[in-house]
């Protein structure tokens, strides 16, 4: 036993030399309290190379990417999803109220295994411009690509799921999907296994079935059971905010290729284009206000939205003057610095039954990996929707993890080995932490009417808009 402890402590001491940039400690004695399964019980359960727990957009995409990887040709993958199979061959007439802003990088990932073609054949809306502005001042920032390429795509989550399901079917000989299955228990192996104990992760499903796997990928959302069972600490914070979503119909048809977002003191309101006549609403606001919005009649709801985008009630003369002065100073220095302000569309009506709300919070796991375990998507990091980054971070996790697993498979390595899992963790934490922190700061910065902060963010936004490198 002392040898095992020594072995584990040795890893803890050697860890800094493994190329880590973040100095966090892994508990050296954590593995010791795990239960060990007997060889007999373990022997019966089928052994997979990879089990992905959680069949949402990120989990399904992870399983599909691995299933299409050439070095995984002979491997066995399982995907566990508590819900039913989601697929349709043609889109329903009404839009779903849950949409995502897909970045070009995510689109590239989805097309790498053939899912993007299905998305395109179902329904999506490209946009070329993002206009973001403040309710408390005239400050505005516009994002667009130089060559007017697509900045991103607004896609209904159901459409993405349908595309992923199709591509999972295409590799059904490698990827086994368990619908209506929920994992209720995990048994972790010791890092250097002792005689008679299984070195694999044991999974027990709600219906009593058991699986074993060389690598468990937790893609089960911000309340991740995998993360909790693995005793990975999670830094989390519930925002006193909820997001209200709805499908809106515009007053008049327009070249609806701009994503709009206005920062109100209560939270940002965003209008994401679905078609030339429809847009999707994502309005992050206080919980009370969110409940009010859900219960009020449709007319009042539409009025609230239009008012939120058009009203200048939060402007103060002081801020307006200060902002205007800064703007003229900027235009003196950089004549072409400020872009033309477009006006957001006005809303005529809302799809009945399309109003819904969900709570918002932020979260970040201190570790993304452990021996034979990796976390991706919201299980690893949860962000505020204000930057439209949530699912794109998850797709970024997938691209990175798949790259490392593919190389490991081609080198004959044990897929659950911490060596390559740590590389994934370092890369993604380096990328994610600053972005998540920035989103959190933005959220807090824009949650106030206090003049100094408004001025700060006004000037900051105007300056940023005028300076391409900062953007």
Partner 1 sequence: QLLLFRLTVKRPFSTSRSSVDPKEIKKFQFLAQKWWDEDGEYSALHSMNDIRVPFIRDTLLNMSSNYHLGSPLSGVKILDVGCGGGLLSEPLGRLGASVTGIDPLEDNIRTADQHKSFDPVLAQRIQYKCSSLEEIVEESMETFDVIVASEVVEHVADLEMFIKCCSQVLKVRETQLSYVLGIVVAEKILGTVPEGTHEWEKFVPPEDLERLLESNGFSVTTVNGMLYNPLWGSWSWTESTSINYAMHAVKSGAQGQSSPTDAPSETESKQHSATAGTAL
Residue closer to partner 1 by CB (options 71, 98) is 71
> Binding of partner 1 at residue 17 (CB under 8 A)?
yes
| Residue 53 Cβ vs partner 1, minimum distance, rounded to whole Å | 22
> Binding of partner 1 at residue 74 (CB under 8 A)?
yes
> Binding of partner 1 at residue 7 (CB under 8 A)?
yes
Among 195, 313, 333, 340, binds partner 1 (CB under 8 A): 195
Indicate the helix (H) or strand (E) that contains 100: strand 99-102
| Residue 291 Cβ vs partner 1, minimum distance, rounded to whole Å | 53
| Residue 334 Cβ vs partner 1, minimum distance, rounded to whole Å | 46
**Phi and psi of 444, rounded to 5°?**
-70, -40
Tally of CB atoms within 10 A around 114: 15
Residue closer to partner 1 by CB (options 18, 83) is 18
Among 84, 335, 412, 469, binds partner 1 (CB under 8 A): 412
Is the CB of residue 80 less than 8 Å from the CB of residue 181? Answer: yes
Roughly how many angstroms between the first and final C-alpha of the chain, as a whole number?
Answer: 56
> Binding of partner 1 at residue 73 (CB under 8 A)?
yes
Residue 65 to residue 401: CA distance in whole angstroms: 10
> Binding of partner 1 at residue 11 (CB under 8 A)?
yes
> Binding of partner 1 at residue 14 (CB under 8 A)?
yes
| Residue 215 Cβ vs partner 1, minimum distance, rounded to whole Å | 13
Q: Tell me the CA distances in angstroms from 242 to 76, 269, 353, 388, one per residue in order.
A: 40, 12, 18, 15
The DSSP output letter for 296 is S
> Binding of partner 1 at residue 103 (CB under 8 A)?
no
Residue closer to partner 1 by CB (options 51, 461) is 51
Report the length, in residues, of the chain.
471
Is the CB of residue 454 less than 8 Å from the CB of residue 134? Answer: yes
Q: Give the bridge partners for 191, in sequence order.
A: none
Q: Tell me the CA distances in angstroms from 58 to 64, 157, 404, 419, one per residue in order.
A: 10, 11, 17, 23
Residue 190 to residue 36: CA distance in whole angstroms: 8
Nearest in space to 427 (alpha carbons), one of 409, 453, 410, 407: 407
Q: Give the bridge partners for 238, in sequence order.
A: 361
Query: Given the rule CB under 8 A, which of 149-157, 261-269, 275-283, 416-424 is the region that contacts partner 1?
Result: 416-424
Among 45, 77, 418, 461, binds partner 1 (CB under 8 A): 418
> Binding of partner 1 at residue 221 (CB under 8 A)?
no
Indicate the helix (H) or strand (E) that contains 163: helix 157-170
Is the CB of residue 188 less than 8 Å from the CB of residue 201? Answer: yes
Q: Which string of x and - marks every residue 303-342 that binds partner 1 (by CB under 8 A)?
A: ----------------------------------------
| Residue 177 Cβ vs partner 1, minimum distance, rounded to whole Å | 20
Q: Mapping DSSP to helix (H, G, I), strand (E, B) and coil, where does residue 26 land?
A: coil
Among 44, 70, 313, 470, binds partner 1 (CB under 8 A): 70
> Binding of partner 1 at residue 47 (CB under 8 A)?
yes
Residue closer to partner 1 by CB (options 24, 419) is 419
> Binding of partner 1 at residue 75 (CB under 8 A)?
yes
| Residue 58 Cβ vs partner 1, minimum distance, rounded to whole Å | 24
Query: Given the rule CB under 8 A, which of 17-25, 89-97, 243-251, 422-430 is the region that contacts partner 1?
Result: 17-25
> Binding of partner 1 at residue 431 (CB under 8 A)?
no
| Residue 296 Cβ vs partner 1, minimum distance, rounded to whole Å | 57
Residue 465 to residue 471: CA distance in whole angstroms: 7
| Residue 175 Cβ vs partner 1, minimum distance, rounded to whole Å | 14
| Residue 400 Cβ vs partner 1, minimum distance, rounded to whole Å | 19
Residue closer to partner 1 by CB (options 346, 417) is 417
> Binding of partner 1 at residue 26 (CB under 8 A)?
no
| Residue 192 Cβ vs partner 1, minimum distance, rounded to whole Å | 5
Within residues 371-410, the interface with partner 1 by CB under 8 A covers: 409-410
Tally of CB atoms within 10 A around 129: 17
Among 192, 311, 321, 328, binds partner 1 (CB under 8 A): 192
| Residue 23 Cβ vs partner 1, minimum distance, rounded to whole Å | 17
> Binding of partner 1 at residue 4 (CB under 8 A)?
yes
Q: Are strands 77-80 and 140-144 parallel, antiparallel or unpaired?
A: unpaired
Sign of CA dihedral 28, 34, 38, 41: negative
Residue closer to partner 1 by CB (options 73, 233) is 73
Contacts of 373 (CB under 8 A, 6+ apart): 188, 201, 215, 216, 217, 218, 226, 230, 416, 421
Among 312, 358, 414, 448, binds partner 1 (CB under 8 A): 414
Nearest in space to 129 (alpha carbons), one of 386, 343, 296, 334: 343
> How many whole angstroms from its chain centre is CA 213?
25
Helix axes 57-67, 157-170, angle to 10 degrees: 30
Q: List residues binding partner 1 (CB under 8 A).
A: 3-4, 7, 10-11, 14, 17-19, 39, 42, 47, 70-75, 191-195, 198-200, 409-414, 417-419
């Amino acid at each position: 036993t002392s040898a095992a402890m020594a072995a584990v402590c040795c890893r803890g001491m050697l860890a800094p030399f493994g190329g880590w940039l973040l100095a966090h400690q892994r508990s050296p004695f954590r593995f010791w309290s795990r239960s060990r399964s007997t060889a007999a019980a373990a022997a019966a359960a089928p052994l997979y190379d990879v089990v992905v727990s959680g069949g949402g957009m990120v989990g399904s995409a992870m399983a599909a990417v691995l299933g299409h990887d050439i070095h995984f040709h002979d491997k066995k993958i399982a995907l566990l999803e508590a819900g039913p199979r989601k697929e349709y061959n043609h889109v329903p007439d009404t839009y779903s109220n849950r949409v995502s802003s897909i970045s070009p990088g995510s689109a590239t990932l989805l097309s790498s295994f053939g899912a993007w073609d299905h998305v395109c054949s179902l329904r999506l809306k490209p946009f070329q411009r993002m206009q973001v502005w403040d309710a408390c001042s005239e400050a505005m920032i516009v994002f667009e690509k130089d060559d007017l390429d697509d900045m991103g795509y607004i896609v209904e989550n159901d459409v993405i799921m349908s595309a992923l399901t199709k591509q999972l079917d295409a590799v059904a000989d490698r990827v086994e999907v368990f619908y209506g299955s929920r994992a209720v228990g995990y048994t972790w192996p010791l890092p250097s296994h002792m005689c008679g104990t299984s070195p694999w992760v044991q999974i027990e499903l709600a219906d009593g079935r058991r699986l074993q796997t060389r690598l468990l990928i937790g893609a089960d959302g911000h309340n991740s059971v995998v993360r909790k069972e693995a005793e990975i600490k999670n830094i989390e914070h519930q925002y006193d905010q909820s997001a209200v979503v709805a499908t809106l119909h515009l007053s008049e048809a327009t070249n609806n290729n701009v994503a709009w977002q206005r920062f109100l003191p209560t939270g940002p309101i965003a209008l994401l284009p679905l078609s030339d006549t429809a847009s999707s609403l994502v309005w992050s606001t206080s919980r009370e206000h969110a409940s009010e919005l859900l219960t009020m009649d449709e007319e009042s709801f539409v009025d609230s939205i239009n008012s939120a985008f058009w009203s200048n009630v939060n402007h103060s003369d002081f801020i307006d003057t200060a902002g205007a002065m800064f703007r003229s100073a900027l235009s003196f220095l950089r004549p072409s610095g400020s872009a033309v302000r477009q006006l957001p569309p006005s809303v005529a009506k809302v799809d009945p039954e399309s109003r819904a709300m969900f709570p918002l919070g932020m979260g970040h796991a201190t570790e993304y990996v452990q021996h034979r375990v990796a976390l991706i998507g919201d299980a690893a990091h949860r962000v505020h929707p204000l930057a439209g980054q949530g699912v794109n971070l998850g797709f970024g996790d997938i691209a990175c993890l798949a790259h490392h697993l593919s190389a490991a498979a081609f080198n004959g390595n044990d897929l659950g080995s911490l060596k390559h899992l740590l590389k994934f963790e370092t890369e993604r934490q380096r990328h994610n932490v600053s972005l998540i922190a920035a989103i959190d700061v933005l959220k807090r910065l824009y949650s106030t009417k206090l003049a100094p902060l408004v001025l700060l963010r006004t000037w900051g936004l105007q300056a940023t808009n005028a300076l391409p490198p900062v953007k």
